[in-house]
């Protein structure tokens, strides 16, 4: 077992799961704030230079997990590790957000899909080194193609 603590919490416009856009073509442009605890603020030093961040967080309002599930973007079941399901053996969420500005321990960001009060586990600069031509989108690409 491993234990983790929150480094902060998300201020989000979404209070309920049903409010978060989902399914094929869903856009995540909602603005929110990553409020980092004072004891970790020094760790934000130099973060302003990055346009986008990876945010790792807890699905603290999910219970249990399903190894197979049908996501809102498809009508076929897929393995949990081939999806972004909130029902995972380790309920860790990963969201890429755009960093709009920093005000001390508060990071104003765009692109949140977390609920209000979601615990933040970690933040890292987003740096993609994957050649777009080598990127395959698996079942999601197929579902998008079927939808046309």
DSSP assignment string, 24-85: TT-----EEEEEE-GGGGGGGTTGGG-SEEEEEEE-TT--S--SEE--TT-SS-EEGGGS--
Q: Which is nearer to ligand SAM, 46 or 127 (CB)?
A: 127
**Listed residue (83, 102, 56, 85) closest to 140, CA to CA:** 83
The residue (of 61 and 147) whose beta carbon lies closer to ligand SAM is 61
Question: Could you give the CA distance from residue 10 to residue 72 in angstroms, rounded to a whole number?
Answer: 24
Q: How far is the CB of 109 from ligand SAM (least distance, A)?
A: 13
Shortest Cβ distance from residue 20 to ligand SAM (Å)? 3
- Residue with smaller CB distance to ligand SAM, 77 or 104: 77
Sites of contact with ligand SAM (CB under 6 A): 17, 20, 22, 59-62, 84, 86, 93-95, 113-115, 118
Minimum gap (Å) between residue 143 Cβ and ligand SAM: 14
Dihedral angle sign, alpha carbons of residues 27, 84, 88, 40: negative
Least Å distance, CB 45 to ligand SAM, is 26
For ligand SAM, the closer CB: 8 or 93: 93
* 3-state SS class at 90: coil
For ligand SAM, the closer of residues 34 and 114 by Cβ is 114
Least gap, CB of 100 to ligand SAM (angstroms):
18
Please give the distance of CA 125 from its chain centroid, rounded to a whole number: 13
Tokens at 18, concatenated: 């049903």
């Amino acid at each position: 077992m491993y234990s983790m603590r929150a480094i902060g919490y998300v201020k989000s416009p979404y209070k309920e799961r049903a409010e978060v856009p989902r399914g094929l073509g869903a856009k995540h442009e909602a603005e929110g704030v990553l409020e980092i605890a004072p004891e970790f603020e020094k760790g934000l030093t130099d973060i302003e230079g990055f346009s986008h961040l990876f945010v790792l967080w807890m699905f603290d309002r999910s219970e249990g997990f399903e190894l197979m599930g049908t996501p809102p973007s498809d009508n076929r079941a897929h393995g949990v590790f081939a999806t972004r399901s909130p029902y995972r053996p380790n309920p860790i969420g990963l969201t890429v957000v755009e960093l709009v500005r920093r005000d001390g321990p508060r990071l104003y960001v765009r692109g949140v899909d977390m609920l209000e009060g979601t615990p933040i586990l970690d933040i890292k600069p987003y740096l993609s080194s994957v050649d777009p031509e080598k990127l395959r989108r698996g079942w999601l690409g197929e579902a998008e193609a079927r939808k046309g």
